[in-house]
């Protein structure tokens, strides 16, 4: 098990992994590695080939990724359901293979299942990225508390099949913050120390709501927790521009810069090189 600690005290947020300190006062990039055949973006789909997985990981690390986010269950709307055993069979060997070649890598596991979280942390994963915010597994919060690993708390409602019908909000930004704060309180009661929040663009939110939330992203600072934004190649971009996900890199970059200007500390992306360049330009603007 690897130990990673994220301190959320503004403005000097740091993450500690062993003897390594990671300063989150400046934004970082999380590269997406989907060990799935049906992710919504074709360019992020990888078969369970160690060579391909290691090559892609090396490419993202070389481009400047701080974290690698591995997912074995596609959470796009109406995605095919797979068993816990199959998800574990996809991600555990991937984590083991990556750590063998890149022993210093910080791996995040994109899962809503506590058993997957437990098994991947055993072999070296350091962060749990839960797209369901604990809603789809009653044991997730207890598991994270027991493992004492940083937890990415994403806002969502329902599951991949039902979430598109659960987007009725009085005030999208206020409602999302309120629901996240309720979850943070539950996690704090269990002594979970390290929490990162993710507003959940595209999850139980339509494009109009996504843009409204993006315009008000700075409001999430009230939570005093590191903010992760994941809008990479999502439908709110390509449907607005009347293009495909494969053509949505430029739109992703534009919204990533806006997110940084509103306080995002982690960008979760398919295209690491472009996101790292965006962060570098943002840092120049902030000088």
Q: What is the pLDDT of residue 133?
A: 95
pLDDT digits (tens, 9 = 90+) for 136-156: 999 999 999 999 899 999 999
Q: What is the CATH number of the domain that holds 160?
A: 3.20.20.20
pLDDT band at 58 (very low <50, low <70, confident <90, very high): very high
pLDDT band at 18 (very low <50, low <70, confident <90, very high): very low
Q: Is the pLDDT of residue 77 over 90?
A: no
Q: Is the pLDDT of residue 45 over 90?
A: no
Mean pLDDT of the chain: 89
pLDDT digits (tens, 9 = 90+) for 218-263: 999 999 999 999 999 999 999 999 999 999 999 999 999 999 999 9
Mean pLDDT value of segment 65-71: 96
Between 286 and 49, the more confident residue is 286
What residues does 21 pair with on adjacent strands? Answer: 16
pLDDT digits (tens, 9 = 90+) for 165-202: 889 999 999 999 999 999 999 999 999 988 999 999 99
Q: Is the pLDDT of residue 128 over 80?
A: yes
Q: What is the pLDDT of residue 36?
A: 80
Q: What is the pLDDT of residue 4?
A: 59
Angle between helices 172-189 and 207-215 (to 10 degrees): 70
Taking alpha carbons only, the member of 116, 165, 120, 108 closest to residue 136 is 116
Residues classed as catalytic: 234, 268
pLDDT band at 43 (very low <50, low <70, confident <90, very high): low
Q: Tell me, yes or no, whether 44 lies in a domain.
A: yes
Q: Tell me, yes or no, whether 16 lies in a domain.
A: no
For residues 143, 145, 150 and 155, what is the CA-based torsion angle, rounded to 10 degrees?
A: 70
Q: Tell me, yes or no, whether 200 lies in a domain.
A: yes
Q: Tell me, yes or no, whether 195 lies in a domain.
A: yes
Q: What is the pLDDT of residue 161?
A: 82
Q: Tell me, yes or no, whether 10 lies in a domain.
A: no
Number of domains in the chain: 1
What range does the domain containing 131 cover? Answer: 27-279
Q: Tell me, yes or no, whether 273 lies in a domain.
A: yes
CB 48 within 8 A of CB 90: yes
Q: Is the pLDDT of residue 80 over 90?
A: no
Mean pLDDT value of segment 47-70: 90
Q: Tell me, yes or no, whether 168 lies in a domain.
A: yes
- pLDDT > 90: percent of the chain: 76
- Which of 38-52, 59-73, 157-171 shows the lowest per-residue confidence on average (mean pLDDT)? 38-52
Q: What is the pLDDT of residue 14?
A: 44
Q: Tell me, yes or no, whether 287 lies in a domain.
A: no
Q: Is the pLDDT of residue 159 over 90?
A: no
Between 1 and 195, the more confident residue is 195
Q: Which residues contact 183 (CB under 8 A, 6 or more apart)?
A: 133, 134, 153
Our measurement of the distance from residue 121's CA atom to the centroid of its chain's CA atoms, rounded to an integer in Å, reads 16
Q: What is the pLDDT of residue 270?
A: 96
């Amino acid at each position: 098990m690897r130990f990673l600690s994220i301190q959320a005290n503004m403005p000097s947020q740091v993450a500690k992994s062993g003897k390594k300190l990671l300063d989150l006062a400046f934004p970082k990039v999380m590269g997406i590695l989907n060990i799935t055949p049906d992710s919504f973006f074709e360019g992020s789909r990888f078969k369970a080939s160690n060579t391909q997985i290691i090559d892609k990981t090396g490419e993202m690390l070389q481009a400047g990724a701080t974290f690698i986010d591995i997912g074995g269950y596609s959470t796009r709307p109406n995605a095919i359901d797979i068993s816990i055993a199959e998800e574990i069979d996809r991600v555990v060997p991937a984590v083991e293979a990556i750590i063998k070649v890149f022993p210093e890598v910080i791996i995040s596991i994109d899962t809503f299942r506590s058993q997957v979280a437990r098994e991947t942390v055993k072999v070296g994963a350091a962060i749990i990225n839960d797209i369901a915010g604990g809603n789809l597994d009653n044991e997730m919060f207890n598991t994270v508390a027991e493992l004492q690993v940083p937890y990415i708390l994403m806002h969502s409602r329902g599951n991949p099949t039902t979430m598109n019908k659960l987007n009725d909000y009085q005030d999208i930004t206020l409602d999302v913050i309120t629901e996240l704060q309720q979850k943070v309180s539950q996690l704090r009661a269990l002594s979970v120390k390290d929490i990162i929040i993710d507003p959940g663009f595209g999850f139980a939110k339509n494009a109009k709501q996504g843009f409204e939330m993006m315009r008000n992203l700075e409001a999430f600072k009230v939570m005093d927790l590191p903010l992760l934004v994941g809008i990479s190649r999502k439908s709110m971009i390509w449907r607005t521009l009347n293009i495909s996900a494969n053509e949505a890199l430029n739109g992703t970059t534009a919204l990533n810069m806006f997110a940084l200007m509103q306080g995002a500390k982690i960008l979760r992306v398919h295209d690491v090189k472009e996101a790292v360049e965006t962060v570098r330009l943002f840092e120049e603007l902030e000088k």
